[in-house]
Amino acid sequence: MSPTPRRRSRARGLAPYLLSLPAGVWLLLLFIVPLFIMLSITLKTCSPASGACVMTWQWGELPHVVNQYRAQFETSLVFAALATIIDLVISFPIAYWIAFYGGRRKNFFLIMLLVPFFVSFIIRTLVWEFILSDNGVVLTFLKGHHLVPSNFHVLGTGLAVVAGLAYNYLPFTALPLYVALERIDRRVLNAAYDLYANRRVAFTRVILPLTIPGIFAAFLLTFIPAFGDYVNQEILGGTANTMIGTVIQNLFLIDSDYAGGASLSAVLLAVSLLGIWLYAKLLGSRTIQDYL
């Protein structure tokens, strides 16, 4: 017997939920449950000696930990902001050229842009350490031509950390910018030229305003992971210029202060949510799915 129209209608109504069930279970187990566990740990008091945590509902731990590591927060904020600005300055001309002058080879140029980033994050950072070392290619050339003092070094400084952050997170900036530029209707530009606008005016009055959502999205996608990064600081920055990501790693893995590490992680999560809220508030929530 064939199913009745009511059963067929019910099956069609359940089909989207059944198809999304595997992804929903995956999201629940690997994102939502760990998130609640992390937030619950922020309300516990942990013993560094034994690593045991007891629920004490200590809300005051959060501001205490933030004040304790304020310097690391400020360092992370400065480093992440500088790296993001550098990536925006570098990525915008690249994305602009590919979007407007790449022609039929746009996909090829995008792949070439991303090929170096198919290599492991750690390996790329270690190679960057070799390049910036005192005996590396860059400083050997500069010192050989007496462009910098012989005792000049980059590793172990904030400059090396910012350079590593900017290099490793470059695709997070370039791709949203490319999407924003590619979505611009060329007829709008043609209309601007028909109204006697030169290239500079067309760029500042047409292209740049239409690219603002992509710029904001690129800023978020670069700044947020760079703000919580610890690999670049560990490898390129040495023991100085400690970032908040390194502090969180040490609290969890070395000091066994899970409450403190979870509290700092919650602050980073709040920063991420604040950025997304500002994006939705200023530019509309319907455009988030196009770039994030």
- Global confidence as pTM: 0.82
| Cα–Cα dist 95/179, whole Å | 8
Per-residue pLDDT, 283: 67
Residue that wins the pLDDT comparison between 93 and 147 = 93
pLDDT score of 267 more than 80: yes
| Cα–Cα dist 30/23, whole Å | 10
Could you state, in order of their start, the residue ranges of all structural domains in the chain?
65-291
Q: What is the overall mean pLDDT for the chain? A: 83
Report yes or no: 256 and 52 within 8 Å, Cβ to Cβ: no
Structure tokens at 24: 């929903």
165 by Cβ neighbours in 10 Å (0-12 / 13-18 / 19+) ranks as: buried
| Cα–Cα dist 239/248, whole Å | 15
> At 162, is the pLDDT very low, low, confident or very high (cuts 50, 70, 90)?
very high
Of the candidates 79, 68, 66, 78, the one whose C-alpha atom is nearest the C-alpha of residue 264 is 66
pLDDT score of 62 more than 80: no
Residue 141's H or E segment, with its range, is helix 137-144
Conformational region of residue 29, where left means phi above 0, alpha means psi within -120 to 50, and beta covers everything else: alpha
Tell me, what DSSP letter sits at residue 181?
Answer: H
**Candidates 3.40.50.300, 1.10.3720.10, 3.40.50.720, 3.40.640.10; correct CATH number of 65-291?**
1.10.3720.10
| Cα–Cα dist 275/110, whole Å | 27
Residue that wins the pLDDT comparison between 1 and 67 = 67
| Cα–Cα dist 82/76, whole Å | 10
Residue that wins the pLDDT comparison between 196 and 172 = 172
Say which amino acid occupies 95: A
Per cent of the chain over pLDDT 90 is: 17
| pLDDT (average), residues 150-162 | 85
> At 237, is the pLDDT very low, low, confident or very high (cuts 50, 70, 90)?
confident
- Long-range contacts of range 182-185, CB-CB < 8 Å, 24 or more positions apart? 182/99, 182/106, 183/210, 183/290, 184/99, 184/210, 184/211
Report yes or no: 217 and 292 within 8 Å, Cβ to Cβ: yes
In angstroms, the Cα distances linking 66 to 69, 263, 266 are 5, 8, 11
| Cα–Cα dist 181/230, whole Å | 32
Per-residue pLDDT, 146: 80
13 by Cβ neighbours in 10 Å (0-12 / 13-18 / 19+) ranks as: exposed
Q: Is 51 helix (H, G, I), strand (E, B) or coil?
A: coil
| Cα–Cα dist 164/124, whole Å | 9
Residue that wins the pLDDT comparison between 48 and 37 = 37
pLDDT tens-digit map of 64-85 = 777 888 888 889 999 999 999 9
